[in-house]
Amino acid sequence: MRKFITNFILFFLVLIITLISVLLILQFTNIFTDVSGPDSVVHISEMKSNKKIKKIYIGDSVADQLFGHNEIDSNGCISMTLNAALTVYGHYLLLDNLCYTNNNYLDSNTEVVLIISLKGLATDLTRPTTFNYFIKPFYNTKFILKHNDSYVLDNISDYNFLSISQTSIVKFRPYLTENIENVINNKLLSDINILGLKKIQECCKKRNLRFSIYIMPLSDYWDQDISKFKMEIQNANLNEVSIALNKFKTTPDKYFVFDHVHFKSKKEGLSFLNGSNVILQRIK
């Protein structure tokens, strides 16, 4: 009996030591880090330029399919596109952070280009992706806690693991997901994206930057939703976007993959940027 107890204690100690070792390895190394996740665009928003910035691209996964996310190139362009899970408000946070870091390299010739697919505008803060793509990158004093928007704070206050979301063992790894109960939402334009659109416009106005919105082509699979998009955007008092949508027309589904949103190829998608099915609305 004494031998059994001794072996049990030894086994328990080895288990504890192993667990602590694994946690320490995860805490202080880059093992299993999510290298393609939101941390990549957060890093870009914090980089310091050494020359004038001509264009700043922000937007969802359709935009990322065409432009990718990358630091300033030889033409003075920066791209922080990623996906709709960031929400348009998340795109605003990245833009504000980049502008704050590079204030001396921006002027009235700098153009902010928001590239959106209409189907991404339904994304809100109740999605399974919210914890990894919104809370983990932005719930800190550089982003959400800096701006202190009550709508945002109220809507994430009940998330599990919120208090440990900024520890490196959690923040930079994709394995922890949120178990918040999804809310049924039939809106095509979420409140967080309405807020984000208005914040981006305010940011550009405050810093005297040019601002344009690309509304990307959408498959004719979604024809029946267009009138609802127009109504919701009009009701949100997004006047410039509403004006742009008056010219919007859908594109044959043959150019899109199975989700009827993303293009079959980057080359095919880029060909639309200068075509009639892309709406470029210059806001300022």
Q: What is the pLDDT of residue 180?
A: 56
pLDDT value at 25 more than 70: no
Amino acid at the residue 160: N
CA distance 136 to 162: 8
If you average pLDDT over every residue of the chain, what do you get? 84
Amino acid at the residue 43: H
CA distance 262 to 245: 19
Q: What is the pLDDT of residue 6?
A: 73
Q: If we measure between CA atoms, which residue out of 43, 108, 26, 104 comes closest to residue 78?
A: 43
CA distance 164 to 237: 37
Q: What is the dihedral of CA 39, 28, 102, 192, to 10 degrees?
A: 30
Burial class (CB in 10 A: 0-12, 13-18, 19+), 238: buried
> pLDDT tens for residues 131-171?
989 999 999 999 999 999 999 999 999 888 888 888 877 77
The residues, any chain, with a CB within 8 Å of residue 126's CB and separated by 6 or more, are: 180, 182, 183, 185
Per-residue tokens: 68 = 């990718």
Q: What is the pLDDT of residue 214?
A: 85
The pTM assigned to this predicted structure is 0.85
- Residue 179 DSSP label: -
Q: If we measure between CA atoms, which residue out of 116, 118, 109, 115 comes closest to residue 284?
A: 109
CA distance 46 to 151: 25
CA distance 70 to 120: 21
Q: If we measure between CA atoms, which residue out of 155, 144, 201, 148 comes closest to residue 178?
A: 155
CB atoms within 10 A of CB 176: 15
> pLDDT tens for residues 205-258?
999 999 998 888 899 999 999 999 999 999 999 888 888 788 888 889 998 999
